[in-house]
Every structure is written in C-alpha cells, then in structure tokens.
Structure 1
Amino acid sequence: MLAAFALAHGRLVHLPVQTAADLARPEVMWVDLVDPSDDERALVQSVFRLELPEDEELEDIEESARCYVDDAGLHINSYFLHQNSEGADNVTVSFLLNEGRLLTMRQEELAVFRLFRLRARVQPGFVGSAEDILLSIYEVAVEYDADVLEGVYSALEKVSSRVLNRETEMNDAAMAETVADIAQQEDVNGKVRLDLMDTRRALSFLLRSRVIGREQEGNLREILRDLESLNNHTGFLFDKINFLMDAVMGLINLSQNKIIKIFSIASVVFLPPTMIASVYGMNFGVMPELKWELGYPFAILLMLLSGIAPYVFFKKKGWL
C-alpha cells in the first residue's frame, strides 16, 4: 500500500496517488509504504531517484547498516512494537529523510502509525515538517510502549494475586496456565525492552546528525529521558517476573513433594502388615499357630493394628 500526505491548515491530510505526477507534487511531505508491491516500489524509486532497501537489509542489526547518511539523505531502520492475537513482535521500519520529505517503509501496519495519523489529522500544528513527522512518530511509539508496559504490569498483578492467594490452592492445570501467562508477559517485556534500546540508538544518531532544529532537539532529548525511565521500568518488570516464576516453581515443587510424601508414608504404613503377612504365609511344617482356630482373625487384626499405629503416629507428629 502506498500513501502520500501533505499539510493543509496545519493538519496532515491524505493525498490520492495514482500516477508519478501525483507523487512528485511539491506539497507531498510524507510518503508511507506498507508491504509495497513491486509496482509501488518502482514508482517511488523512479520519482525520487533512490533505491529502497530490500526486506533482508531491514533486518541487519549492525548500527552502520541501520543508521547512516548517504547521497539520498538520512537513513534510519528502527524497531517498532507490533501486537496481535498471537502475541508481540518487533517490526523494522525504514525511514529516509530526503530533501524535506520523509519516506517510511514497513511490512506490517502498526498501531503507532495509526495513532500518529489520527493525531496529525485532528490536531492543528501537531507537525510542521518532515523532521517533525519523524520525531512525532517516535514520540507516539514511546507512549505506545509505555501503555504496553502498563498492560504487562496489570497482567502480572493478576498472576501475583493468584499465586500469593493462600485461601485457594492451585491445581496442576492452574499452575501450568500461570507459568504460560508469566512466560508470555516476559516475552512482551523483552520485546518492549529491545524496541526501547533500538529507539534510543536511532534517536542518538539523529541527535548527532544535526539535521533537526534547536526546538526539535529539545523534544528529542525529552523523548530520550522518557526512554530511559521506561527502560528502568522494564528492569523492574523483569525482577517481578523472575520472582513470580520462582514462586510458581516453588509451589510446583511443594505439590510434587506432597505426592512423594504420601507415597513414602504409605509404604511405611503398609510395611508392618506386609511383614506379618509374610511371616504367617510361610509353609514350614512346624508352626505353633498353624492349627490355631483363631489364627486367621488374629493375623488380620494384627495387620490392621500394625498399619493403624504408624498412621496415628505420623498424624500426631503433623507429617500428614
């Protein structure tokens, strides 16, 4: 999908693009490509006389390949968080500042870009240049990451109340579900942390490149401060996740120990009756009780008493 945007009365408006002339209009300030087709890529490259990066190039993690300046302009390839029904993932977005115009390209439609377009469309003066668009997208991305971290914290609070509730004992299915919930929140928190670290690297490069004005530089430094606070918050969440995972693993160990304890006590309880049954099950020719009429009920009673006695003893000791 190919979309072009321009400023009208201080608001960012969408412009229809059908031909190369539509895309080459001087008022076009932002060109956005989402999973572009070969024809759309060829159109943008012919109009602006530049080479768009391939999908493989977007995934290169080296800083020299993700942030650089060449004859075409300033290039930044940066991670943005993408959430769907299957979980969270980091999607690379390619930015290119070229002669007062911003080009963006990505493979997925992102909530950050939808929220940015909404704000730029309804708030006059929200952006005034291509550099403003770039910084505002990152600012919205940081806010989005903060919202995601709040969601992770809320989910962990629910897990915490479930794990630390002494009145309700979790069964095996509940424990397995709890471990899965903790693992899912750990994955989301890790993706957010990677997104924040990559964003900080991109903004630091943008600050060093000196392509933004003094006022924009102040906004950029404020975004970096917000990034630092969110990065510290992810560390706190990792500590909370580790604590909850250790607590759940401890509960699982206790549950398993209870089962082993029951089997151990059962073997001790049944040991004396087994010994008595073994003695009176011998087939020696001379046994005093062999022809005793009360021998059978006596042996049964003796086995019952020898089994009950260890049980009562363990019960008084509090081992059961």
Structure 2
Amino acid sequence: MINVFVLQNGRLSQINIENRADLENIAPVWVDLTDPNEDERDWVKSIYGVTLPGEDEVKDIEASARYYEADNGDLHLRTDFLIDDDDEPASIVTVAFILARDILFSVHTLDLPVFRLVRMRARSRPGSIVDYKDVLLDLYATDAEYSADALEGIYQNLEDVSRSVLKKDFSDQDAAAALNSIAQEEDLNGRIRRNMMDTRRAVSFLMRGRLLNADQFEEARQILRDIESLDGHTSFLFDKINFLMDATVGFININQNKIIKIFSVASVAFLPPTLIASIYGMNFRILPELQWDLGYPFALVLMLASAVTPFWYFRRRGWLK
C-alpha cells in the first residue's frame, strides 16, 4: 500500500493513489509505503529514481550502516519503531527512510501507530510541517511520546501486580499470573529502551550531519531531552520489576515451605506410634497382648498418646501457625 502526502496550507493532505498517473501528477513531501508490491516499487523507482530496499535488506542491515549516504546523494536511515498492542505482544518494526529529491520515503512491513498519529495530527495543526525533514522529526517526536504512553501503561499494570502480590491471601495461581504479567511488562520495558536508544542515534545523526535548520535543530535537541527523561523511567521500572519478581518468588517459596512443614510435622508425629507398633510386633517368647488382657488396649492408647504429644508440643511452640 502506498500513501502519498502533500503540503496544503501547512497541513499534510493525503492523496489517493490508484495508478502510476496519479503519482506522476503530484509533488509529494512524504511517500509512505506499507508492504509495497512490485508495481508500487517500480512506480517510485521510475518516477523519482529511488530504489526502495527489500524487506530482507531492511532487517539484515549491519548496525554500523543504519545511517549512510548513497553514491547518488540519497540519505538512507534505518530506525526502529515500537508497536504496543493490547491484543498482541509488543514488537519492534524497522523502518527504512530515504531522503531524496526533497521528499521523505518510508518503507515498512506493518502499519505503525506512530505513523497514524503523525498523519492525524498534521491535518489538525496548520504550519507545523514545512518540509520533508519536519515530517521525519515529527515521526521521531511522536515515537518518543508513544513510548512515554507505553511506559505509563507499564506503571499501571505493575501497580495492579503489586496489589495482587501484597494481598493477604496469595496463592500459587496468583503467583503464576503475577509472574506472567511481570515477564510481559519487562519485555515491553526492554523494547521501549531499545527503541529510544535507536531513536536517539537517528536524531543525533541528523544533527551531526548538519541537515537541519536552526528551528529543526532546536526541535531535535528537545527530542533528545525527552528521550533522556524516559531513560530514568525505564531504569526505575527495571528495579520495580526485579523487586516484584523477587517478592513473587519469595511468596512461592513460603507456600512451598508450608507444604513441606506439614509433611515434616506429620513424619515426626507418626514416628513414635510406628516405633511402638514395631516393638509390639516383634516375635518375643512372651507376647504382652497375649499374656496380658489389656495388652492391645494399652498399646493403642500408648500409640495415640505418642502421636498427640508431638502435635501438642508443636502447637505450644507456635510451629503449626
């Protein structure tokens, strides 16, 4: 799918593209391609002279070559963007940007929430975008905001886990659910940190390359400050996740120790009756239960008393609580 945007009165306006002629008759500022087919790739190459990278080229590029200038002067960038969907696990999608002919070309396999937000805001904020570099900076700024929203969601989810872990009755089923939630939030937090690191690198590259004017340079500095503020939150969340993980595992160990204690008490309590029964079952020449009429009742009473006495002692010491 190909989405083409032009500047009209300081707003991004989307133009419907159904064939090659529609693309030839406009002067776009942003050409966004989501999982493009071969025809759409040929249109971009023949009209603008830009060769779009394939899916494998976007994913397998070396980390040191994520930002480079081609022989024809086109600037290529590879940037990661976060997808945090409630119905699906969080993921990172790599987007290929090409800055050529005063146009921003973007290629990605999935429709990203950040891109949808930029398209929606640009239509409602006249004058916020002047050229294609403003579009790219707006994408990076929105990506930082999207990551901040995701961090707020982690805070809320961890608060729910904290209330569950610290409640009075915390069963093994509750512990399993808490561990599952903690693992998911830890994975999302790690992806956010990686995403912010990649965005910082991309913005820093644009600043070092002297590609931005004074206003754009100041906006890039503000993006870096926003990302810097998010780093502290991710570090705090890592510490909170580790605390909740340790607390959950500790409660699991306590529940397991309770079960082991029951078996330990039972084994100690029933050891004296077992000893008495084994003594009375030995083949003596004179058997007490045969020579003495009260032999069997006495043995049973003795066995019962020997079993009750340890329980009474353990309870008195508070070991059964």
After TM superposition, is the score higher than 0.5? yes
> 1:11 deviation in Å?
1.2
DSSP 3-state at the match of 1:77: strand
Judge conservation of contact 1:79–1:195 (CA < 8 Å) in 2: yes
> 1:288 deviation in Å?
3.9
User: Which of 108, 122, 143 pairs up with 2:145?
Assistant: 143
Aligned equivalents of 1:66, 1:272: Cα separation in 2: 75
1:138-162: CA deviation from partner (whole Å, max 9, x where unpaired): 1111000000000001101111111
Judge conservation of contact 1:119–1:126 (CA < 8 Å) in 2: no
Judge conservation of contact 2:84–2:150 (CA < 8 Å) in 1: no
User: Which of 154, 159, 162 pairs up with 1:160?
Assistant: 162
Judge conservation of contact 2:2–2:40 (CA < 8 Å) in 1: yes
> 1:221 deviation in Å?
0.5
Structure 1 gaps of 5+ residues are none
1:76-96: CA deviation from partner (whole Å, max 9, x where unpaired): 110000123121000001111
Aligned equivalents of 1:232, 1:73: Cα separation in 2: 36
Structure 2 residue 183 is the aligned partner of structure 1 residue 183: yes
> 1:169 deviation in Å?
1.4
Judge conservation of contact 1:276–1:299 (CA < 8 Å) in 2: yes
DSSP 3-state at the match of 1:285: coil
Aligned equivalents of 1:211, 1:14: Cα separation in 2: 26
DSSP 3-state at the match of 1:290: helix
DSSP 3-state at the match of 2:175: helix
Aligned equivalents of 1:266, 1:25: Cα separation in 2: 87
Q: Which residue number corresponds to residue 220 of structure 1?
A: 220
Structure 2 residue 128 is the aligned partner of structure 1 residue 126: yes
Change in Cα spacing, 1:60 to 1:203, as seen in structure 2 (3 Å) is: farther
> 1:289 deviation in Å?
4.2
DSSP 3-state at the match of 2:234: helix
Q: Which residue number corresponds to residue 236 of structure 1?
A: 236
Q: Which residue number corresponds to residue 67 of structure 2?
A: 67
Judge conservation of contact 1:179–1:245 (CA < 8 Å) in 2: yes
DSSP 3-state at the match of 2:69: strand
1:21-45: CA deviation from partner (whole Å, max 9, x where unpaired): 4323453111000011111112111
1:220-299 residue pairs with structure 2 within 5 A? Answer: 220-299=220-299
Q: Which residue number corresponds to residue 79 of structure 1?
A: 80
Counterpart residue type for residue 82 of structure 1: I
Q: Which residue number corresponds to residue 93 of structure 2?
A: 91
Counterpart residue type for residue 5 of structure 1: F
Counterpart residue type for residue 119 of structure 2: R
Aligned equivalents of 1:82, 1:288: Cα separation in 2: 81
Deviates more, 1:240-249 or 1:5-14: 5-14
Counterpart residue type for residue 183 of structure 1: A
Aligned equivalents of 1:147, 1:64: Cα separation in 2: 30
Aligned equivalents of 1:311, 1:16: Cα separation in 2: 82
> How many pairs align?
318
Structure 2 residue 39 is the aligned partner of structure 1 residue 39: yes
Q: Which residue number corresponds to residue 27 of structure 1?
A: 27
DSSP 3-state at the match of 1:152: helix
Aligned equivalents of 2:117, 2:153: Cα separation in 1: 18
DSSP 3-state at the match of 1:259: helix
Judge conservation of contact 1:60–1:66 (CA < 8 Å) in 2: no
Deviates more, 1:17-26 or 1:29-38: 17-26
Q: Which residue number corresponds to residue 107 of structure 1?
A: 109
Change in Cα spacing, 1:20 to 1:81, as seen in structure 2 (3 Å) is: same
DSSP 3-state at the match of 1:241: helix
1:85-125: CA deviation from partner (whole Å, max 9, x where unpaired): 12100000111111211001100001111111000011111
> 1:63 deviation in Å?
3.5
Aligned equivalents of 2:221, 2:132: Cα separation in 1: 18
DSSP 3-state at the match of 2:293: coil
Judge conservation of contact 2:289–2:296 (CA < 8 Å) in 1: no
Judge conservation of contact 2:84–2:90 (CA < 8 Å) in 1: yes
> 1:226 deviation in Å?
0.6
1:5-29: CA deviation from partner (whole Å, max 9, x where unpaired): 1011221111122333432345311
Judge conservation of contact 2:288–2:295 (CA < 8 Å) in 1: no
Aligned equivalents of 1:78, 1:268: Cα separation in 2: 65
Q: Which residue number corresponds to residue 314 of structure 1?
A: 314
Judge conservation of contact 2:76–2:97 (CA < 8 Å) in 1: yes
> 1:75 deviation in Å?
1.1
